[in-house]
Structure 1
Amino acid sequence: MFLNDTLALWSASIAPVMPPPLLATVAAEYAPIVLSGVLLTLVAIFIASKIGSEVAKRLDFPPVLGELVAGVIVGISALHLVIFPEGGLAATDSLLMNALQLLNNLSPTAIEAVFESQSEVISVLAELGVIILLFEIGLESDLRQLKAVGIQAVVVACVGVAVPFIAGTAGLMAIFHVAAIPAIFAGAALTATSIGITSKVLSELGQLKSTEGQIIVGAAVIDDVLGIIVLAVVASLAKTGEIDIANVIYLIVSATVFLIGSILLGGIFNQAFTAIVEKLETRGNVIIPAFVFAFFMAFLGNAIHLEAILGAFAAGLVLDESDARNELDELIKPIADVFVPIFFVTVGARADLGVLNPTVPENRAGLLIAVFLVAVAVVGKLVTGWGVFGKPGINRWAIGVGMIPRGEVGLVFAGIGSASGILSKPLQVSIIIMVILTTFLAPPFLRVAFGQTDKTIDPVESTSD
């Protein structure tokens, strides 16, 4: 989710106007209160996620949609139980922080520091959640089948980046007379795909190993890599007015080497993993080495300025072919059940539905632009299904719908653009609306798209196409 790279760029762009950090002076003194805030927030997240997923299941919707909606309810749009300091929010906006302040008689400065620290911890836990999710998705994927649809996935990803970017940028400049650099930034926000949301829905629908599911997952991974490159380009353009060619080339080469290298060396990794598991005799002999490998691969992805989730996904793909794969599948589920909901609830919690209020004057211009961006965002990804070739009878609608959700990735684009001063308020609002709608519309429509398939494609059959 672009976390380290984007936060670094974001911090660099707003550093001159940020106040001195408070955490260094008061966080240690109030560490027990920070822990209390984290624990209360996790209680709210887990209750919300479970209620949301259960309600969604009973209404015959994907449970992940219930977790997203539950996040909206406990987040900035409604109850203010789970909120974050991004966007100018303060501790006084949080009901949990107000309660902690009253219970512990904290000063305004101290509670702000507690709020910052608590938010950082929850954000890190959410990142761990999506890393674990992508590791689990990698384990559930079939590497042989993913290789079989590799070319189709590349084409789908390239179409899914190029079409919305070109259409969005050109449309903003021609129709709404937006300046070139803000239009390019907004167009870049349209290129993102939230692999976490889509892959979770595919898994819940039992379509992850279908041909369509494998194309979507493969394309979303490639789309993530392309998104990092696009972000690097627009961020450098925003800061200097020029594109850093050397950095773009580095990202392309490192991403290619990392992904292909991980797959090619999979046999060696598997042999080492199996040998270690056979020698260990205490509890955790399978799950601990697996997570060591997954987290190390995630670290490598981060270290070369890609994404941690790409490393975790690659680790899952590699271990999918190990002898302990079936046991590992069962062991990872309870861990994912704890961490993954944190990610989905926080995504919903960050979505401010207040930007949809037309009675606020500054939202009105953004709403008009948002209609255009949502249309481009949906159509620009739907057409990706027609980029698939050599697969007769493929469900092209399902592939297109699976690429639609922008999720937290789109919010990162909006945040960086806002912090750097590139995006006007109406343009920022329109991007946020686009992210919200594509994130929440995709899960139910993905279900409908697969429901229109005459027959579920057998993974064994699809590998032989």
Structure 2
Amino acid sequence: MDFLITLTLIILLTKLFSHIFAKFNLPTVIGELLVGIIFGPALLNLIHTDNFVTLFAQIGVILLMFIAGIEGDLTQLMKYWKPSLVVAILGVIFPTIGAFIVCVLMFHFQISTALFIGLILSATSVSISIQVLKEMNYLDSKEGMVILGAAVADDIICVILLGIASSVFAGPHSNSLNLIGLILPKLLFFVLAFVFGKWLVPPILSLSKHLIATENLSGIAIVLCLAFASLATYLGMSDVLGAYFIGLAISQTKYKAELSAKIEAIGYSTFIPVFFVSIGLNVKLAHLSTNLPFILITIIIALIGKQLGGWLGARLCGFSSESGNIIGAGMVSRGEMALVVAQVSINAHLIDQSHYTAMIIVTVVTTLIAPLLLKIFILKQHAQEPIPQVIAH
């Protein structure tokens, strides 16, 4: 019965902390992380990581990425594909290279550890930015569209790099794999994802509507999610990659809105909170004082890398400096994807516990700073351009 008590505590506490953080206009995901830190081994030691928590957390992260895919908008990405792609690429390159150089030269980390820390810092979560854009009537502005488009591209780039890097550095026979054997399974996965997503997912979902069963559509959607997560793992990629791409395929169907609401209810009511709490449970505050210089430097790299990447990418595509600052600030926030990369990294023993804790702290700090930066730059542009350039619908 212990697992029932654990699940009861996790769900209750995450909802209470989410409410408190939402009241103060702070990211609710930070509140869920704090539940794991406060009530886990780091402080009160009331909740512990076990097989139950691990399994629920694994399902949670798969559903989280599945939902991110379903809520994606490839139409907007294609409309602003050039600035979005440039911003996304530079937003991955700058923090990844910056972190890699610092980790290798200053802290003498192994190449694999430095690379994965760079990947953690390259991840973006715009859920916080979207809320700020809505509040300030900038969601439909050209800056808002580029931020959204770049977030889609950023997620795809980051997840692909995560899957490839995991197979290279964490594979049991990675040293003996030749280049062809390494690349071919990945190419096969993307071919299957494209073919399956474009031509098979829509009819499968349509057929599921004719099944005489409760929640037939959402049930078949979860089957597709878990099947593609398994396929990705079988072909040497991360399971979250399979879930994300099948979600993107569903986002192009007429069932997007219905499935988004139903899968969110399943994921966010139980499994996803367990995932975030499980991350907090792995935080050990004992490592904080010894890693303070590393934490401060990586926070600076995380902030400057995304801000500079977004600003430069926007400027290269003809945006003003003020618009570039807004786009850069919109990409600063870390969140779900950074936590996913961190979790994959520690599970594959590519970073140790102290680095893992440092990355969680960096994620929390950048997520708290990002909304403030975004508001400052939007207000600054308001002072110069009172009416934002809104896209005509």
TM-score by length of 2: 0.79
Instruction: Please say if residues 29 and 276 of structure 2, whose CA atoms lie closer than 8 Å, have aligned partners that are also in contact.
Output: yes
Instruction: Please say if residues 161 and 226 of structure 1, whose CA atoms lie closer than 8 Å, have aligned partners that are also in contact.
Output: no
TM-superposed CA distance for 1:314, in Å, is 2.0
Name the CA distance, whole Å, in 1 between partners of 2:365 and 2:225.
31
What is the correspondence of 1:356-375 to structure 2 with a 5 Å cutoff?
356-357=288-289, 363=290, 366-375=291-300
Name the CA distance, whole Å, in 1 between partners of 2:183 and 2:122.
24
Of the three residues 446, 451, 465, the one matched with 2:370 is 446
Equivalent residue letter for 1:198: S
Instruction: Please say if residues 164 and 376 of structure 1, whose CA atoms lie closer than 8 Å, have aligned partners that are also in contact.
Output: yes
Name the CA distance, whole Å, in 1 between partners of 2:112 and 2:302.
14
Name the CA distance, whole Å, in 2 between partners of 1:330 and 1:413.
30
Name the CA distance, whole Å, in 1 between partners of 2:156 and 2:222.
20
TM-superposed CA distance for 1:259, in Å, is 5.0
Find the counterpart in structure 2 of residue 121 from structure 1.
52
Find the counterpart in structure 1 of residue 2 from structure 2.
37
What is the correspondence of 1:431-442 to structure 2 with a 5 Å cutoff?
431-442=355-366
Find the counterpart in structure 1 of residue 248 from structure 2.
317
Name the CA distance, whole Å, in 1 between partners of 2:215 and 2:171.
45
Find the counterpart in structure 1 of residue 27 from structure 2.
62
Instruction: Show structure 2 runs of 5+ residues with no match.
Output: none
Of the three residues 99, 107, 116, the one matched with 1:168 is 99
TM-superposed CA distance for 1:168, in Å, is 3.2
TM-superposed CA distance for 1:418, in Å, is 6.8
TM-superposed CA distance for 1:266, in Å, is 2.3
Equivalent residue letter for 2:159: D
Instruction: Please say if residues 194 and 220 of structure 1, whose CA atoms lie closer than 8 Å, have aligned partners that are also in contact.
Output: no
Partner of 2:240, secondary structure, is: helix
Find the counterpart in structure 1 of residue 204 from structure 2.
272
TM-superposed CA distance for 1:256, in Å, is 4.2
Name the CA distance, whole Å, in 2 between partners of 1:238 and 1:457.
53
TM-superposed CA distance for 1:437, in Å, is 2.1
Instruction: Please say if residues 90 and 309 of structure 2, whose CA atoms lie closer than 8 Å, have aligned partners that are also in contact.
Output: yes
Equivalent residue letter for 1:384: G
What is the correspondence of 1:62-461 to structure 2 with a 5 Å cutoff?
62-84=27-49, 119-152=50-83, 154-176=85-107, 178=108, 182-192=110-120, 198=125, 200-201=127-128, 210-211=144-145, 212-235=147-170, 245-246=179-180, 248-250=182-184, 253-254=187-188, 256-262=190-196, 265-277=197-209, 279-338=210-269, 339-357=271-289, 363=290, 366-385=291-310, 386-388=312-314, 389-390=316-317, 392=319, 393=323, 395-402=326-333, 406-414=338-346, 416-417=348-349, 429=354, 431-451=355-375, 452-453=377-378, 461=391
TM-superposed CA distance for 1:46, in Å, is 0.9
Name the CA distance, whole Å, in 1 between partners of 2:117 and 2:348.
10
Equivalent residue letter for 1:269: V
TM-superposed CA distance for 1:55, in Å, is 0.8
Instruction: Please say if residues 186 and 237 of structure 2, whose CA atoms lie closer than 8 Å, have aligned partners that are also in contact.
Output: no
Partner of 2:44, secondary structure, is: coil
Instruction: Show structure 1 runs of 5+ residues with no match.
Output: 1-35, 85-118, 358-362
Q: Write the deviation string for residues 351-403 of structure 1: whole angstroms up to 9, x where unpaired.
A: 2222113xxxxx2xx33334333333333333331334537345322343035
Equivalent residue letter for 2:90: V
What is the number of residues matched between the two proteins? Answer: 369
Name the CA distance, whole Å, in 1 between partners of 2:101 and 2:256.
48
Gap change, CA 1:175 and 1:135, over 3 Å in 2? closer
Name the CA distance, whole Å, in 2 between partners of 1:308 and 1:58.
34
TM-superposed CA distance for 1:149, in Å, is 4.4
Gap change, CA 1:189 and 1:285, over 3 Å in 2? same
Partner of 2:331, secondary structure, is: helix
Report percent identity of matched pairs. 22
Name the CA distance, whole Å, in 2 between partners of 1:227 and 1:190.
11
Partner of 1:323, secondary structure, is: coil
TM-superposed CA distance for 1:350, in Å, is 1.6
Partner of 2:120, secondary structure, is: coil
Partner of 1:249, secondary structure, is: helix
Name the CA distance, whole Å, in 1 between partners of 2:204 and 2:346.
43
TM-superposed CA distance for 1:223, in Å, is 1.0
- Compare relative contact order (CA 8 Å, sep 6+) and give the higher one, 1 or 2: 2
TM-superposed CA distance for 1:138, in Å, is 2.2
Instruction: Please say if residues 98 and 118 of structure 2, whose CA atoms lie closer than 8 Å, have aligned partners that are also in contact.
Output: no
TM-superposed CA distance for 1:136, in Å, is 2.1
Equivalent residue letter for 1:336: G
